[in-house]
Amino acid sequence: MNFRGEYGNGISMNPENKKYEYVILLVFFFAIASSLSINIHSLQKNFLFSDESTYFMMTESIGYDGDIEYTKKDLIRYYREFPSGPLGLFLKKGKAGKIFFAKSSAYPLFAAPFVRIFGANGFFVFHSVLLLLLLFMGYSYYSLANSKSLSLAFILTFLFASIAIVYFLWMTPDFFNLFLAFSALFLWLFKHNQKDPIETDGPKNKIQTFLLSD
């Protein structure tokens, strides 16, 4: 499919089209408000299992202890949130008898600051930030060949009428992985499907200059 349409540079400088970007911000603020008000215990039925329990403890360990070692402190913090205790943890034994979490540390590393500030709800606050970036990337890319209204409808449908919205509610890397894959495709396709050369004045044009650079 050729996305080199008449619509040009993705995010428009036309003030009349700003309303669509405001819709994206409105969705973001709604996601933030929902993330902070979610009752984690009701959502998770008062316990976490397998991947979620591992990533939960791992993220708190990075956020509070600065490591991924499984210790008594991790258990104490976990029991404060979920008295039922962790179930199905993925652990591995290291040197000197130390035990470590046996999962990738990328997602916990990025989520840790949010969990440190907002507690368990920080996972969803982090996902809300990723959602904002996904919306802007998708909207900008679709706008290369479609009207602003249709572009917004496309990206909202892609995220909210698919499994992606379920990933948003999981305390696992699924939504984070979606963001990484989406970002890689966006950075590649935006450059190759851009039609018109752009000016370099203004903050948005500078962003586009970066996206189009070699």
pLDDT tens digit string along 173-199?
999 999 999 999 998 887 766 655 444
Place 203 in a pLDDT band, splitting at 50, 70 and 90.
very low
Verdict on whether the full-model pTM lies above 0.85: no
Place 200 in a pLDDT band, splitting at 50, 70 and 90.
very low
Q: Under a CB-based contact definition with an 8 Å cutoff, are residues 180 and 130 in contact?
A: no
